[in-house]
Structure 1
Amino acid sequence: MDLLRVVVLGMTLVSARAGVVPAAPLAAFPAPAAYAAFPAPFTAPVAAPVAVTKLDYADAYPQYQFAYTVQDALTGDSKAQEETRDGGVVKGSYSLIEPDGVRRTVNYYADPVNGFNAVVQRDVPVVKAFPAAPLLKAAPISAYAV
């Protein structure tokens, strides 16, 4: 029973310190037989309102351009991306090798009037032709006779 009182006291002190349950003296806790009528319900802390400020951007006409490629012969990873922005218009593309070996290329364009538009293209994989194996002729049936 003493361990239970220590645990309850510790939880109450931690909660009171966090501002969740008001601190109560040890004498306010009921006897172990009366724990069903725990005195104080737990309440969630109330968050203070936060003032929102409007940000002013220095660049009224943003422009940027970037590109990268990855060609890793060890893992077979092959991908690329490029994008440009001129004011509210963004143009770009990216490509990658899918698990089946086909290169997928996505060309996209976005602006405030038309929104985001993308065109997906899958390149046809190059199939290597192997020469046919020579046909084997079966021995005549008379060769198998006993």
Structure 2
Amino acid sequence: MALKLIVFSALALASAYAGILPVAFESPVAPLAIHTKIVDPNHDPHPQYSYSYDVHDAHTGDIKNQQETRDGDVVQGSYSLVEADGTRRTVNYVADPLNGFNAVVHKEPAHVAYHAQPAILTHAALPTTYIDTGDYVPTKYVYQH
């Protein structure tokens, strides 16, 4: 009987120090992701630019020019070049969201045929004569299975 009393008091003492055990464990809740719209501070809602350039190189015969302007979503421009036969090709184009890209090509006849300067050809000196010293012996190749 004393043994039962010792076992019972040990169980009571152990359960007193065991604490409260939960029925189920819950996983930690992740914080909600809030979708925020990222706005670029450098974004221009109505972009505008304009540029042009000309090239006239008599040495290579490269003659061309281009100009382009943008106002919002509409881009207008043109470029022209002198082709090898001396004709001038001009392309005028417009690009907008409604009609897309549209180009009109004009070809003007050559007034004076333009000829680029001919290339200057130089020939390298021929190598000196070959002197056989007899040091080189060609290898005999043998084909075997």
- TM-score, normalising length: structure 2: 0.48
- TM-score, normalising length: structure 1: 0.48
Greater RCO (Cα-Cα under 8 Å, separation 6 or more): 2
Larger Rg: 2
